[in-house]
A and B are shown apart, each in its own frame.
Chain A
């Protein structure tokens, strides 16, 4: 099962390597990872989506993260109210006749065309995992030529 956790770390050289190294050394799987500075520039915020077979492994992952000297805190969103978002850029075949159809889609999902060139368009969309999946399914009929996705970011209360 996939779990979303956030980790506050010292914004220092090598910290990402420590976190990544911990996962590879212990054989844990990172499904996605997003890192950014916080309002407090000495701290970075990582959102990590991890795969863990069971509760015990998830516990170990959290404990091992906490053990890193540069980790300030770890939050597990598994049983915690939170929102999460991913952002995608999708290049699809485009012709003006699709316009209406796409607009209808964008009513359902948060997305828009951000660039058109020749007979392709690049669409930007934001949503949680389910919304992104739904949008991608609908877009497949336009012929997805290329796709890029950010790691998940999450915030809780």
Chain B
């Protein structure tokens, strides 16, 4: 077999069903073999779209997403998408063509040092110099991408290697002596963890994306119900615990709920599961949760004691460890007082907004929630739209909220929706977008229409790069610099792509537009004109303690 065929054969053995990609000179042998292969290929309109689509597919399924690009500009166009996946620990395998191996280093046409460029934004990467190594490399890449703390892995394949003839030998097992993720908790640490939990009076579960990655949502729920601890989550942790559950506190941090932030600040025990105490969560670090002991469960040892001091670390897979704790935990803490306090906060400081005047974005999200009965997969762009989508839609299931958390990549939502829809054609997939972000990868509407990937895009059109405008309003004396952004007529644009466009300017038309969008068997874009200067509240100013929120409401 030639290298290109070995690659495709190996991808199939890894259970790959779809590749998101874009052609070019240095992947011609692969494209040629794809011509006959029964592998779905989604041709995007920009390689960044391919990377985000593979990412969206991975987040929606838990399986590694695969993207393909040619050398040089094709590969560099993947970079933002790879970095996005890396920051959010998303399993992905990116395959790039490279100039012929004997030309590497010669500044050949469309040559870029792609392994060099992507080294800091991949979990690992490979430059394949012999077709004999290809099958093993693919095997390792999928193993590394999807095990431990997942992440993107890139395989750079020179075009002569794609043509090189060699025997195809599929390694049945994969063994990397230098890579052995810890999966089970240390028994001694589990005991200590249980002791902390038993002694707590004001415990809180603080959960992140790791719970979803590990498939620990059900055990998490069991533990929360067993000890009756309230649960708060990070942006990445949305869906790890049912938002409609009575123990749920919603998201915490910079735009978290007031009650979640109060609760974590007052807690005497933080049970952190698959979350990394990011600065958007902790606010000012030296005043974060001053009275709390910290129990930190994470598969990545380097996440532990990185930002805050941890009392009891347990390294391993969240699902295993929570199971081990459930089994070991005998004495339950008495926390009825604490729950009452938390309930009071919930009543006193609910999420709210003034529903008056023109369309409020929060109202749109609430309508989306009702219209989809909370059963849709929501992807988001970045900015205010993302925060409103996080705050006002209630996610009861994992893998239903897909958003760029760590990197905050504008332009993520539409291609990620494509990936999610390809993974779950039976589900409604909606990109909640901003008028700025959507313009960063709007070309992917063509991908949707051509491939009948019927996603719905709801643009919360405020005419601004709203989140930046909000900061300028609050912290730069309303000097709006470079944030007033124009847009094309989105409805006409959607139509010219062959999608369906709906324009909404009145509150009373919002629901009808959504219902219509859900009904139409096509990609639909709703351009929803919202209050231009609506802000996301609550808000913790950067560098403040997280209970020092501004609410914006009198």
**Among A13-21, A31-39, A122-130, the stretch in contact with B:** A13-21
Contact bitstring B327-367, A, C-beta under 8 A = 1, else 0:
00000000000000000000000000000000000000000
Alpha-carbon gap, A21 to B118, bound state (A) = 11
Alpha-carbon gap, A60 to B302, bound state (A) = 6
Contact bitstring A59-77, B, C-beta under 8 A = 1, else 0:
1100110110111100000
Contact bitstring B127-161, A, C-beta under 8 A = 1, else 0:
10000000000000000100000000000000000
Shortest Cβ distance from B294 into chain A, in angstroms?
14
Among candidates B115, B144, B176, residue contacting A14 with C-beta atoms closer than 8 Å:
B115
A66 pairs with B116, CB closer than 8 A? no
The verdict on A56 contacting chain B, using a C-beta distance below 8 Å, is yes
Shortest Cβ distance from B125 into chain A, in angstroms?
8
Give how many A residues have a beta carbon under 8 Å from the other chain's beta carbons. Answer: 19
Shortest Cβ distance from A51 into chain B, in angstroms?
18
The verdict on A114 contacting chain B, using a C-beta distance below 8 Å, is no
Closest Cβ neighbor of B148 among chain A residues? A67
Shortest Cβ distance from A67 into chain B, in angstroms?
6
Closest Cβ neighbor of A71 among chain B residues? B178
Chain A neighbourhood of B178, CB < 8 A: 9-10, 69-72
Alpha-carbon gap, A52 to B470, bound state (A) = 39
A17 pairs with B176, CB closer than 8 A? no
Beyond A69-B124, A69-B144, A69-B176, is A17–B305 a contact (Cβ under 8 Å)?
A: no
B127 pairs with A13, CB closer than 8 A? yes
A56 pairs with B119, CB closer than 8 A? no
The verdict on A1 contacting chain B, using a C-beta distance below 8 Å, is no
Alpha-carbon gap, A60 to B115, bound state (A) = 25
Alpha-carbon gap, A46 to B501, bound state (A) = 60
A63 pairs with B302, CB closer than 8 A? yes
Shortest Cβ distance from A130 into chain B, in angstroms?
33
Alpha-carbon gap, A148 to B50, bound state (A) = 50
Chain B neighbourhood of A100, CB < 8 A: none
The verdict on B165 contacting chain A, using a C-beta distance below 8 Å, is no
Chain A neighbourhood of B301, CB < 8 A: 63, 66-67
Among candidates A10, A13, A21, A63, residue contacting B119 with C-beta atoms closer than 8 Å:
A21
Chain B neighbourhood of A25, CB < 8 A: 120
Shortest Cβ distance from A54 into chain B, in angstroms?
12
B120 pairs with A67, CB closer than 8 A? no
The verdict on B123 contacting chain A, using a C-beta distance below 8 Å, is yes
Alpha-carbon gap, A63 to B298, bound state (A) = 13
Among candidates B127, B177, B302, residue contacting A67 with C-beta atoms closer than 8 Å:
B302
Alpha-carbon gap, A70 to B116, bound state (A) = 15
B119 pairs with A67, CB closer than 8 A? no
The verdict on B179 contacting chain A, using a C-beta distance below 8 Å, is yes
Alpha-carbon gap, A70 to B115, bound state (A) = 15
Question: B123, B176, B302, B306: which has the most chain A beta carbons within 10 Å?
Answer: B302
Chain A neighbourhood of B305, CB < 8 A: 56, 59
Alpha-carbon gap, A10 to B305, bound state (A) = 28
Q: How many A-B residue pairs have CB under 8 A?
A: 35
B302 pairs with A69, CB closer than 8 A? no
Shortest Cβ distance from A71 into chain B, in angstroms?
6
A69 pairs with B127, CB closer than 8 A? no
The verdict on B300 contacting chain A, using a C-beta distance below 8 Å, is yes
Alpha-carbon gap, A139 to B444, bound state (A) = 70
Shortest Cβ distance from B308 into chain A, in angstroms?
10
Closest Cβ neighbor of B149 among chain A residues? A67
Closest Cβ neighbor of B125 among chain A residues? A14
Chain A neighbourhood of B144, CB < 8 A: 69
Shortest Cβ distance from A6 into chain B, in angstroms?
15
Chain B neighbourhood of A21, CB < 8 A: 119-120
Closest Cβ neighbor of A56 among chain B residues? B305
A67 pairs with B116, CB closer than 8 A? no
Chain B neighbourhood of A64, CB < 8 A: 302
Chain A neighbourhood of B127, CB < 8 A: 13-14
Shortest Cβ distance from A57 into chain B, in angstroms?
10
Alpha-carbon gap, A49 to B144, bound state (A) = 29
Alpha-carbon gap, A10 to B178, bound state (A) = 8
Alpha-carbon gap, A14 to B115, bound state (A) = 9
Among candidates B116, B179, B302, residue contacting A17 with C-beta atoms closer than 8 Å:
B116
Chain B, 13-39, CB within 8 A of any chain A CB = none
Alpha-carbon gap, A70 to B123, bound state (A) = 11
Alpha-carbon gap, A9 to B305, bound state (A) = 25
Chain A neighbourhood of B120, CB < 8 A: 21, 25
Shortest Cβ distance from A43 into chain B, in angstroms?
9
Contact bitstring B519-552, A, C-beta under 8 A = 1, else 0:
0000000000000000000000000000000000
B179 pairs with A69, CB closer than 8 A? yes
Chain B, 294-330, CB within 8 A of any chain A CB = 300-302, 305-306
Chain B neighbourhood of A66, CB < 8 A: 301-302
Among candidates A10, A18, A60, A72, residue contacting B306 with C-beta atoms closer than 8 Å:
A60
Beyond A60-B302, A63-B302, A64-B302, is A69–B123 a contact (Cβ under 8 Å)?
A: yes
Alpha-carbon gap, A76 to B9, bound state (A) = 43
Alpha-carbon gap, A9 to B123, bound state (A) = 16
Alpha-carbon gap, A70 to B301, bound state (A) = 17
Alpha-carbon gap, A14 to B116, bound state (A) = 8
Shortest Cβ distance from B315 into chain A, in angstroms?
10
Chain B neighbourhood of A69, CB < 8 A: 123-124, 144, 176, 178-179
* Nearest 6 pairs of A and B residues by beta carbon: A63-B302, A72-B178, A69-B124, A69-B179, A25-B120, A63-B301
Chain A positions within 8 Å of B, measured between CB atoms, are: 9-10, 13-14, 17-18, 21, 25, 56, 59-60, 63-64, 66-67, 69-72
Contacts A14-B115, A17-B119 known; 18 new A-B pairs at CB < 8 A? A14-B119, A17-B116, A18-B119, A21-B120, A59-B305, A60-B306, A63-B301, A64-B302, A67-B300, A67-B301, A69-B123, A69-B144, A69-B176, A69-B178, A70-B124, A70-B178, A72-B177, A72-B178
**A–B Cβ pairs within 8 angstroms, 26 of them:** A9-B178, A10-B178, A13-B127, A14-B115, A14-B127, A17-B119, A18-B119, A21-B119, A21-B120, A60-B302, A63-B301, A63-B302, A66-B301, A66-B302, A67-B300, A67-B301, A69-B123, A69-B124, A69-B144, A69-B176, A69-B178, A69-B179, A70-B124, A70-B178, A71-B178, A72-B178
Chain B positions within 8 Å of A, measured between CB atoms, are: 115-116, 119-120, 123-124, 127, 144, 176-179, 300-302, 305-306
